[in-house]
Amino acid sequence: MDIQLHISTDEQAISPICDFTHSWCLSCGLSENEATKFTIAVCELITDIILFAYPKKSVGFFDLTFRQTLSDIELIASEVGEPFDPDKHRYDPQRALHDNDFEGAGFRVIRRFTDDFLFINRGKEGKEFRLQKKINVKDIDELIELSRAKKPKEPKQKALPITYDIHQITPADAEDIAKLIYRTYDYSYTKEELYFPKKIEKTLLGKEKLGVITRSDKGKALGYFAILQKEDSNIAEVGEAVVSPSYRRQGIMSGMMEHLIKVAREHHLLALFGKAVTIHPVSQRVNQKFGFKTTGVMLLETNNVIFKGFDEDYPQPVSVVIDVLPLHPNNHKDLYLPEKHAYILLETYSLLDIPVTAKHDKSYKLADKSEAELQINYADSTALIVVEKYGPDFSSVLQEMLQSLIDQENPNVIYLDLPLENEATPSQFNKLEGLGFIYCGLAPFFHNESDYLRLQKICMPFDLNLVNVHSDFGQHIKSYITDEYSQHT
């Protein structure tokens, strides 16, 4: 969950912000030394903003967002003060030594005390600074190798017949969930937070996930399955699932999925979605069995997938298919579809049984300035830009964001979500020509209960033949993407 602060440019704010930052870093899992370094970096940044961003105003305001995952922390500072170019203010040791001129020293400290520092000029939306620091969790790959080296290969376990019940999870189940994950996967499960009972308990208390646990008649935990609710829309991702090896092939997974779908409907969620990996078809088949429909293929989506049974490393980041299950009958929608992708989008809506009329409005009105949210996944080397409003500066703002990401982050892929309920989308889509975006798919209900066209810009060489898609329509989307990609390369 993000922590957001709106702060005035009063020098008295510096000390309490730094105190809060240090405490927050420690609570997120940084050591005392690393927390101090990150706090110094934050202090340098906000001091520069407070002292120099608004020279002609007695009082200005800026925003801070504190964001945490298990593997890293991030601070995002946004302000609308005077424009400036950080490349024009680089630190020169000789100038500092001989002329006592320390210009640019603050940015040098920030880069030294963080793992990643990104500056983005967002035009009329001002400027954005992102400071990121990795949290030193024991390397999962190392633990896997240790477990393989120390443990003899276990014989295949025979399923034990048993009676069981499925219950909705509570915070009291946190330790059993962590034990289930460990006993089933050792330390190879991709979501490291599931090895920390306190973190599981925290998410359950915060209502961030809905889930079920399967227990035997004696109370033993046999399986766990959860959906993770999106912060910006009333949908949830089918994200975590495990059944103890000794009790597989007894309908436990199917029973939990059916129960979860029922729970999701009771909580009035609009839809469930899953990201099924394309390295093998198993998870895709499970989704298709329960009525999920493939709406897109996200190329190079994750670096952090480990699969038992594969003798060789997968040679590229793993792609995923987007599978969606609407949970209630859908009302008719009037949408503004870019002509280039209108046909495949209409095919996708038909597959989802969502009635749609494609509209065109050449008399649309732009916002005063563009608004777009940037989400960076540092662990997977991906970024997502979600367009909220189009302004006259849309093309320049987007190009500046792309250039900043490519120059400073070197991502594998950049995704772009365009709102299909905005009448300006078809014409603004045409301004993307030459930027290297290709089709990804339909993202229904993904932000603020609204539908988005997801595009993707591939930033590294890769082999599309290694992307295995199970469903017929998923293969149709892959073929469509392949044609577009070949044209761009």
Model confidence pLDDT, tens digit, residues 300-323: 998 755 544 444 567 899 999 999
Asked if residue 186 has pLDDT above 80, the reply is no
Give the pLDDT confidence score for residue 259 in this predicted structure: 92
Average pLDDT over residues 201-223: 87
Give the pLDDT confidence score for residue 133 in this predicted structure: 93
Asked if 322 and 294 touch (Cβ cutoff 8 Å), the reply is yes
Provide, rounded to the nearest whole percent, the portion of the chain with pLDDT above 90.
Answer: 59
Give the pLDDT confidence score for residue 402 in this predicted structure: 95
Asked if 237 and 228 touch (Cβ cutoff 8 Å), the reply is yes
Give the pLDDT confidence score for residue 313 in this predicted structure: 66
Q: Where are the alpha helices (DSSP H) in 273-366?
A: 282-289, 342-351
Is pLDDT larger for residue 456 or for residue 287?
456
Q: Give the contacts of 454 (CB within 8 A, at least 6 positions apart).
A: 296, 298, 322, 415, 416, 417, 440, 441, 442, 443, 446
Band the pLDDT of 160: cuts 50, 70, 90. low
**Quick count: other Cβ atoms within 10 Å of Cβ 463?**
8
Helix/strand/coil for 337: coil
Average pLDDT over residues 272-297: 89
Is pLDDT larger for residue 295 or for residue 60?
295
Give the pLDDT confidence score for residue 152 in this predicted structure: 45
Give the pLDDT confidence score for residue 284 in this predicted structure: 87
Average pLDDT over residues 230-253: 87
Tell me the residue ranges of DSSP E strands in 197-316.
209-216, 221-229, 235-243, 271-277, 293-302
Asked if residue 157 has pLDDT above 80, the reply is no
Q: Give the contacts of 425 (CB within 8 A, at least 6 positions apart).
A: 336, 337, 338, 390, 418, 419, 453
Give the pLDDT confidence score for residue 100 in this predicted structure: 65
Cross-strand partners of 415:
384, 456
Give the pLDDT confidence score for residue 16 in this predicted structure: 94
Asked if 345 and 354 touch (Cβ cutoff 8 Å), the reply is no
Asked if residue 163 has pLDDT above 90, the reply is no
Is pLDDT larger for residue 487 or for residue 64?
64
Q: What's at 276, amino acid-wise?
A: A
Give the pLDDT confidence score for residue 173 in this predicted structure: 92
- For the stretch 118-142, pLDDT in tens is 999 887 788 999 999 988 654 333 3
Output the CA torsion sign for 389, 392, 393, 399.
positive
Band the pLDDT of 89: cuts 50, 70, 90. low
Asked if residue 79 has pLDDT above 90, the reply is yes
Give the pLDDT confidence score for residue 138 in this predicted structure: 41
CA 456 centroid distance within chain: 14
Is pLDDT larger for residue 111 or for residue 416?
416
Average pLDDT over residues 338-359: 96
Helix/strand/coil for 62: strand
Average pLDDT over residues 429-447: 96
Give the pLDDT confidence score for residue 122 in this predicted structure: 82
Most confident of 157-166, 172-181, 435-444, 479-488: 435-444
Q: What's at 194, amino acid-wise?
A: L
Structural domains of the chain sorted by starting position, each given as residue range(s) with its CATH number in brackets: 1-136 (3.30.565.10), 158-269 (3.40.630.30), 276-489 (no CATH)
Span of 91-100, 262-271, 350-359, 398-407 with lowest mean pLDDT? 91-100
Give the pLDDT confidence score for residue 201 in this predicted structure: 87
Cα separation, 36 vs 31, whole angstroms = 8
Give the pLDDT confidence score for residue 304 in this predicted structure: 58
Average pLDDT over residues 169-196: 83
Is pLDDT larger for residue 29 or for residue 168?
168
CA distances from 473 to 8, 105, 320, 321, 476 (A): 52, 55, 14, 11, 5
pTM listed for this prediction: 0.82
Average pLDDT over residues 203-230: 88
- For the stretch 442-489, pLDDT in tens is 999 999 999 999 999 999 999 999 999 999 999 999 999 999 999 877
Average pLDDT over residues 86-104: 64
Rounded to the nearest 5°, which phi and psi values hold at 445?
Answer: 65, 15
Give the pLDDT confidence score for residue 303 in this predicted structure: 78
Average pLDDT of the chain, as a whole number: 86
* 173 class by beta-carbon count within 10 Å (0-12 exposed, 13-18 middle, 19+ buried): buried
Give the pLDDT confidence score for residue 270 in this predicted structure: 96
CA distances from 142 to 145, 189, 234, 390, 401 (A): 5, 13, 38, 46, 36
